[in-house]
Amino acid sequence: MSRSNPATTLLTLLGLLAAGCQSGGAPRASETASSAPAATSAGEASLTTIALTDPAPLKSDSATLTVGGLGCPLCANNIENKLGGMTGVQSVSVDLSTGKVKVGFWGKDKPSPMALAQAVRDSGFTPTQIQTP
Amino acid sequence: MHNSMIRALRARSLRHSLCVLALAAAWIQTPARAQEAPNAPAATQPAAGHATVREQIRYIRFRSDAEEDARRIEEWTAWTSVAIGLTGDLSLTFEAPLVYRETDGGPDDGTHSGLADMTLALKWRFFQKDYGPIDTLRVALLVGTELPSGDDQLSSDSVDPEIGLIATYIRGRHGFGGALRYKFTTGAQQDPINAGETLADQIRYDASYLYRAAPAEYAADTHGSLYLVLELNGSQETNGDSQLFLAPGIMYEARSWAAEFSLGLPVWQDLQDRPDADFIFRWGVRLLF
């Protein structure tokens, strides 16, 4: 009589854990910030390509990185967290369909293309291009 | 009757503890390893300076019909894994399984719960080739060791080194994984139940396939993917024991959380030193904010 019913127990666990998962639906700061105009208003036609090894801080208010190896939505999270933690970065938005990562900046201490590229590598992905408006 | 009530209460208490542990882990804010099948390891890891927490609940039912060892065993495990990214291609992983075991028959009739042997491992991704926005091939070397928990029934009281090779290939909607691991066993558990608990070296081999069922194509506003998973998880021990499971499953990955479910069914078991497994349920969660 004391033996548990595995199916009932499993369903209970699933229900409880699913409730926990649903509570994670709230957008993170980086996702909320990613809709900021600063990161989305750059026109593709007017972008200028910059060397990934350039150590000079960027002067523009945004940049678009092209990244390889973004296999899934959780991969985007790695980049959002890594770039989002850099000084001068205000917003990060990852487009999985194109591998484009739009980064918005604020303040005077903006990162260099070299630092952005290294952050992408530290996230486990390959930067192939950086462009600014 | 009194013993049955106590056993039921202890079982309920542990199950509640497992739920609380899983939910607690889920609330921790970390980036996550991605495209990782529920059972097989992947050549993915957290970014440098970040950590991953993964909680998985496992339920396994064993049976032994041998006349001298007839028994039924049910085992619940709350498996917690924490990985820290040391550099872009090197991570440190710590795994701790909290086990509740209910045995009906045999010398260990009754219940037992405690911390089973833990694992500490370094994963070094020594090869990475990204072919495009999504497509990638990664290969990693795994070097680690099993650490004794000291539990009288759940620990081998030995330090068992392990080495392995893991590969992950993602191409469009398809993800492939393969892993081969060898454990140098230096001590056995008093009553081995699971693979790798006898005094024999163990080879573990895994193959996984993940199919992105939805969306068919990523878009700029894609925030989640649903995967159908099929795994083969095998174990071969130097004492001759061998076991192979086929594990269909399902996984959902959002940008801030992931959930996985898998049912492992034995397709081959040749075991002399421990009971056969009927099936394995695995339910895992990774939740990010």
pLDDT at residue number A44: 52
Of residues A24, A79, A124, nearest to B288 (C-beta): A24
Q: Which of A73-77, A129-133, B285-289 has the highest mean pLDDT?
A: A129-133
**Can you give the pTM of this predicted structure?**
0.78
Check: CB of residue B39 under 8 Å from CB of residue B262. Answer: yes
Task: Tell me if A12 and B218 make a contact (CB, 8 A cut-off).
Answer: no
d(CA B43, CA B139): 6
Task: Report the pLDDT value the prediction gives residue B47, as an integer from 0 to 100.
Answer: 82
Average pLDDT over residues A2-20: 39
Contact B22 A1 (CB under 8 A): no
CB distance from A80 to chain B under 8 Å?
A: yes
- How confident is the model at residue B142, as a pLDDT? 98
A-chain residues near B19 (CB < 8 A)? 12-13, 16-17
What ipTM is given for this predicted complex?
0.74
Record: contact B256-A25, CB cut-off 8 A: yes
Residues of chain B with Cβ-Cβ distance to A76 below 8 Å are 255
pLDDT of residue A35: 30
Out of B11, B22, B34, whose CB is closest to A72? B34
- What is the pLDDT at residue A45? 57
How far is residue B39's CA from residue B233's CA, in Å, rounded to a whole number?
A: 7
Scanning the structure block, which residue is given the tokens 């499953």? B249
User: Could you tell me which of B44, B254, B33 has the C-alpha nearest to residue A31?
Assistant: B254
pLDDT reading at A48 higher than 60: yes
Asked if A99 is an interface residue toward chain B (Cβ–Cβ < 8 A), one would say yes
| C-alpha distance from B144 to closest chain A C-alpha (Å) | 21
- For residues A6-17, average pLDDT: 40
pLDDT of B50 reads: 82
Q: Is the peptide bond before A111 cis (omega within 30 degrees of 0)?
A: no
Residue B197: phi, psi to the nearest 5? Answer: -100, -5
Q: Is A38 left (phi over 0), alpha (psi -120 to 50) or beta?
A: alpha
Q: Inter-chain contact B128–A126, Cβ cutoff 8 Å?
A: yes
With a cut of 50, say whether residue A29 has pLDDT above it: no
pLDDT at position B154 is 92
Q: Are B128 and B151 in contact (CB under 8 A)?
A: no
- Give the pLDDT confidence score for residue A56 in this predicted structure: 94
Does B217 contact A97 at a Cβ distance shorter than 8 Å? Answer: yes
**In this predicted model, which residue has the larger pLDDT, A78 or B265?**
B265
In this complex, which of B7, B27, B253 lies closest to A73 when CB atoms are compared? B253
Mean per-residue pLDDT, A42-70: 86
Low-confidence ranges of chain B (pLDDT < 70): 1-34, 287-289
Statement: residue A21 has pLDDT above 80: no
Contact (CB<8Å) B19/A98: no
pLDDT exceeds 60 at position A13: no
DSSP string for residues in B65-131: --GGG-EEEEEEEEEEEEEEEEETTEEEEEEEEEEEEEEESSTT-EEEEEE--EEEEEEEEEEEEE-
Model pLDDT, residue A75: 79
C-beta atoms of B288 and A77 within 8 A: yes
Residue that wins the pLDDT comparison between B198 and A19: B198
